[in-house]
Amino acid sequence: MVDILREPIEDPAVWKAERFRDPTDWIYPLAPAQIAELETAAGEVIASGKTAFGISREDFPLPTLAAVLDDQLDVLENGRGFIFMRGLDVTRYDAVTLQTIYWGICSYLGVGISQNPQGELMSGVTDYGDEFEGDPYVSNIRLHRTTHEIHPHTDSCDYVALLCAQPAKSGGDSAVLSSLALYNEVLATHPEYLEPLCEGFHLDLVGKGSKAKELSHHRIPVFSYFGGKMSARFNKRQIELGAEKASDGLDPLSQAAIDYVRDVSMRDDFRLPMEFRAGDIQVLNNRVTFHARTAFEDDPAAKRLLWRVWLNARDPRPMAPEFANQLNSGERGGVTLRA
């Protein structure tokens, strides 16, 4: 029997969009002196010959910004579950300097893990022109490599960070919602859905497993209550495709349950929209939030580009082993490197 929480979650990460309609409540503006600290630290790393991905926070001293990032980490880990920083002028930096600054910030928030079979610790979220017909997941194409809308979902890490190097010509806006508030909604309106959602599903890993085509070895819950904490993991198409490959598809109750999770996650009272400007940094706690993206149109001379980093927390949220192993690579493991 799965452990199902039958009481509403009370947690700072339970919120609805109206709570944060004023962006000044959640955007942290980087001050010129703080940006100067980032530039100095990045310059010292580059001068030393180290690569950005080989440094830790000890290699990236930030005399005053360090305390701010510690506070932001507390918000990410124990508060609302997302942070947003603004103020970097990306036109001032070459690619190496920008990525070093960004990785330096991330080093204060967690530990980077591999996010694709190439072992990349920082990858570009942009339109790669991958060709497919119909559903890109059927062709093992991850939607962040396209211009398509991405429905509410989670990534397979504790925190996902995005730095906007170039916004789209139009579209490409982000949205974030509290998955814990969504749980409370399911509990209040359709408690019969909790059993399949908490029992979980075999997921199609869409190229993120140890092989190009692979299902999760075990069922992964959408909602997992463990150690007094609720965590969530959701991708509707991965659930559906996994069920199609593992059996004859989802039973009616399970299909209704994940349909309902999708429907609630698309509601305006849950979704908090966020506009990405050049230099913005968004970091999300995947265990307590879902995120989404609208479709976008590019300027061919200036394609939309976000740099993504997957981070594991140094002090991780308690998670059941079957929930924590999401990629067949062990608890909180990244994507397996493949030749």
Closest CA to 98 of 161, 165, 47: 165
Determine the Cα–Cα distance for residues 34 and 65; give it in Å rounded to an integer: 6
Domain ranges of the chain: 17-324
**pTM (two decimals):** 0.95
Q: Residue 152 corresponds to which amino acid?
A: P
CATH code of the domain occupying 17-324: 3.60.130.10
pLDDT means per 10 residues, the chain with 339 residues, are: 92 98 97 98 97 94 98 98 98 97 98 95 90 72 84 98 96 96 98 98 92 94 97 97 95 98 98 97 98 94 96 97 96 91
Question: Which pLDDT value is given to residue 339?
Answer: 66
Question: Which pLDDT value is given to residue 133?
Answer: 72
Question: Which pLDDT value is given to residue 139?
Answer: 67
Q: Residue 213 corresponds to which amino acid?
A: K
Determine the Cα–Cα distance for residues 327 and 129; give it in Å rounded to an integer: 26
For CA atoms 54, 57, 63, 68, give the dihedral sign: positive
Radius of gyration of the chain (CA): 20
Closest CA to 229 of 13, 47, 38: 13
CA 134 to chain centre: 25
Q: How far is CA 296 from CA 105, 277, 303, 339, in A?
A: 27, 14, 10, 32
The predicted-structure confidence for 52-82, as pLDDT tens digits, reads as follows: 999 999 999 999 999 999 999 999 999 999 9
Q: How far is CA 188 from CA 9, 13, 14, 127, in A?
A: 11, 18, 14, 40
Question: Which pLDDT value is given to residue 38?
Answer: 98
Q: Residue 150 corresponds to which amino acid?
A: I
Determine the Cα–Cα distance for residues 110 and 331; give it in Å rounded to an integer: 16
- 300 Cβ contact list (under 8 Å, min separation 6): none
Determine the Cα–Cα distance for residues 45 and 60; give it in Å rounded to an integer: 7
